[in-house]
Structure 1
Amino acid sequence: MSSKVLIVGATRGLGASLRKLYTSKPSTHVFATTRSDKQPESQPHVSWIQNVDLTKPDVGHKLVSQLPSSLKLSTVIITAGYFGLESFDTPDWGKQVQMYTTSAIAPVFVVQQLAKAGFLGEGSKVILVSSESGSITLRHESEGGGNYGHHASKTALNMVGKLLSLDLKPDGVAVGLVHPGFMRTEMTKGVGFDKYWDDGGAVTPDEAAESLATFIDGFDISKTGQYWAPRGPRDIGTAEPVLGAGLSTPLQLPW
């Protein structure tokens, strides 16, 4: 049976790796979004959706207006994100607004528009890429404070996902929150986290995409509204200090 996958934020990092992974499956067609107004290079099994900017109020409308009217999506993965580095001494209003908008506001409008337009239905899966940094329980004094917008916007996203799961459960649509892993991306390098890649067990986006796709295969309505780390605790430095030893993979994360 063929499947239709929508990847929001498909041009780089985890989104690009997911796009490559899903298009390698002959029975899967990917609808991939880009912020650009230029058509990316044509690829087999990919339909590009342009001008999809998660910082704009019309993002949901812009997206659904470019999808085929008869489309039924099996999976939607919202991967797009922004990380603006902050400290207690240098909080940044603009960075925080962009992080909250991208991570926690835009997904509501994207998912709501997809549902209302009939692109989601019984058996559809919506995966919101969050982070273990959004877990209040896992925040530990060993890590200190700072990065307010990044951490708190992921916590807000977790609440958004939980609420969406309640709204969409009657329609048979499952909504999941995931920490895909600590990744070796331009985003983490851009905030200086590349110095933690080796000690922190960072993986490539391709590796994270493989484990995430496997998790999505087994994700269904019985897990809707839950928060998971498909790769387990291996790259979550506070997991064992807070939750103890012998943790499972995948790992259900605490809020």
Structure 2
Amino acid sequence: MSSILIVGATRGLGAQLVKRYASNPTNTVYGACRSSTPPSSPSGPNIHWIPSVDLTNPESTPLDTPSWRDQVTMYTTSAIAPSFLISSLVNSSIIPSDSNSKIILVSSESGSITLRHPQEGGGNFGHHGSKAASNMLGKLLSLDLAPKKIAVGVVHPSFMRTEMTKGVGFDKFWDDGGALPPDEAAEILAKWVDGTFGMDLTGQYWAPRGTRDIGTWDAVMGEKSGKEGPVQLPW
């Protein structure tokens, strides 16, 4: 006998999955719904409804996870607000078309799904997930803005020795991880943006410094040592 929980079970695919699993009388199916009143259908002796499950409301999902507000802030900062800001700048012609304009989204190698590896472990849901969302935003913007000849790039700017990385305990990795002071990282990034990046690289994801500070690079990519100099990263 199996117990199956389906969230969003009142219509569409969710409702059909409830019916599909409930057709086996040995299953116990739990259907979560946003309404405070369970639906009348699908129904059956082995279907049990859980009302008032609203995934937009942290009070209805009291799991032991990092702060809801902190995670929302990460996604807003990395992937929601930039889309509105960039659209506004382009629509108002502050970022002009056909003039070698460049937009760079500062993401992180942590946004690469490919580079996540067991040696690193899980967690960091808000940070890593929001950076992956930022990467997708950059790709989509590059497609939208290509007709205007506005190049959009996504970068891992380097692991840096900042109060931010220190504040989350990453200072213990500064030396082994090859963390740079921000002024050095800024110089490397600016030289790449000004000298290399353009429409031929739009929509791509790069580490201008190389992979010295990407701890999972060797294990995932099958290389014995990190690469120096600009490297295109896998999504």
Give TM-score, length-normalised by structure 1. Answer: 0.64
Query: Which residue of the other structure, out of 120, 124, 146, is the alignment partner of 2:101?
Result: 124
The aligned residue for residue 161 of structure 1 is 138
In the alignment, structure 1 segments of 5+ residues that lack a partner are 1-87
Identity %: 67
More relative contact order, 1 or 2 (CA 8 Å, 6+ apart): 1
Query: Which residue of the other structure, out of 211, 231, 234, is the alignment partner of 1:251?
Result: 231
Aligned residues: 168
**CA distance in 2 between partners of 1:103 and 1:243 (Å):** 26
Say if 1:89 and 1:140 are closer, same or farther in 2 by CA, change over 3 A. farther
The aligned residue for residue 134 of structure 1 is 111
How far is 1:249 from its partner?
2.1
Cα deviation code 1:55-106 (max 9, x no counterpart): xxxxxxxxxxxxxxxxxxxxxxxxxxxxxxxxx9642211100000000101
**CA distance in 1 between partners of 2:151 and 2:159 (Å):** 25
**CA distance in 2 between partners of 1:192 and 1:125 (Å):** 34
The aligned residue for residue 148 of structure 1 is 125
Taking the TM superposition and a 5 Å limit, the aligned residue runs for 1:95-134 are 95-120=70-95, 121-122=97-98, 123-134=100-111
User: Is the Cα contact below 8 Å between 2:209 and 2:228 reproduced in 1?
Assistant: no
Query: Which residue of the other structure, out of 189, 201, 204, is the alignment partner of 2:178?
Result: 201
How far is 1:248 from its partner?
5.5
Cα deviation code 1:206-250 (max 9, x no counterpart): 010010011101100000000000010100011111112264520
Say if 1:243 and 1:112 are closer, same or farther in 2 by CA, change over 3 A. same
User: Is the Cα contact below 8 Å between 2:159 and 2:213 reproduced in 1?
Assistant: yes
**Structure 1 residue 239 corresponds to structure 2 residue 217:** yes
Say if 1:248 and 1:198 are closer, same or farther in 2 by CA, change over 3 A. closer
**CA distance in 2 between partners of 1:90 and 1:168 (Å):** 37
User: Is the Cα contact below 8 Å between 2:151 and 2:201 reproduced in 1?
Assistant: yes
Helix, strand or coil at the partner of 2:126: helix
The aligned residue for residue 161 of structure 2 is 184
Helix, strand or coil at the partner of 1:140: coil
Query: Which residue of the other structure, out of 189, 206, 228, is the alignment partner of 1:228?
Result: 206
Stretches of 4+ aligned residues off by more than 4 angstroms: none
AA partner of residue 86 (structure 2): V
Query: Which residue of the other structure, out of 36, 58, 67, is the alignment partner of 1:92?
Result: 67
Helix, strand or coil at the partner of 1:176: strand
Give TM-score, length-normalised by structure 2. Answer: 0.69
**CA distance in 1 between partners of 2:228 and 2:137 (Å):** 26
Taking the TM superposition and a 5 Å limit, the aligned residue runs for 1:6-85 are none
**CA distance in 1 between partners of 2:120 and 2:174 (Å):** 16
Helix, strand or coil at the partner of 2:104: strand
Bigger CA radius of gyration: 2
User: Is the Cα contact below 8 Å between 2:158 and 2:185 reproduced in 1?
Assistant: yes
User: Is the Cα contact below 8 Å between 2:115 and 2:220 reproduced in 1?
Assistant: yes
Helix, strand or coil at the partner of 2:152: strand
In the alignment, structure 2 segments of 5+ residues that lack a partner are 1-62
